[in-house]
Structure 1
Amino acid sequence: MPIRASHLPHYVERTVLQKLRATPGLPAVHLMPAGPKTLSKMVEKTWIAPLAGSPVRYRITPEGEAALKAEIPMPRSAQARAR
């Protein structure tokens, strides 16, 4: 299986983005199964940002919304079967 492109969120990242879309300002403990390393990578990618005045609460950014809406490419064999 090919490696997913870095601009596409993997399962845990998608879970975080979906939770933050539904409830902005969630604390890190409510974003499980994402750990501190995953959250810091998502901040680096500018998909999420800490809320002002609280380094442990996050919000989704416009870049995170775009990543969540990005189309996930299908393998060629799956595309052929879909026709």
Structure 2
Amino acid sequence: MCRNIRTLYNFDPPATNEEIHAAALQYVRKISGFNKPSKVNEEAFNRAIHEIAVVTENLLNTLETSAEPRNREVEAERARIRSAKRFGTQ
């Protein structure tokens, strides 16, 4: 359920609003237990997603590091290699 919650910090280019929103959505889904909320809970659900996305963006903009930014393609390839080792290739 939390596949979209990935490390978003220290990448070049920086995390997009879509990536931050996807992570916030997955987080709210996980803690609420709802994949899609009922009509009565929809406003609270969407408000939580928005607020978490804002806080996440503020956090990412505030953090500091001396490390070189990571490359998305290199990190994706490393993840594919780890997955192949763990689950085998198909």
TM-score by length of 2: 0.27
TM-score by length of 1: 0.28
Whichever structure has more helix as a proportion of its residues is 2
Structure (1 or 2) with the larger CA radius of gyration: 2
Whichever structure has more strand as a proportion of its residues is 1
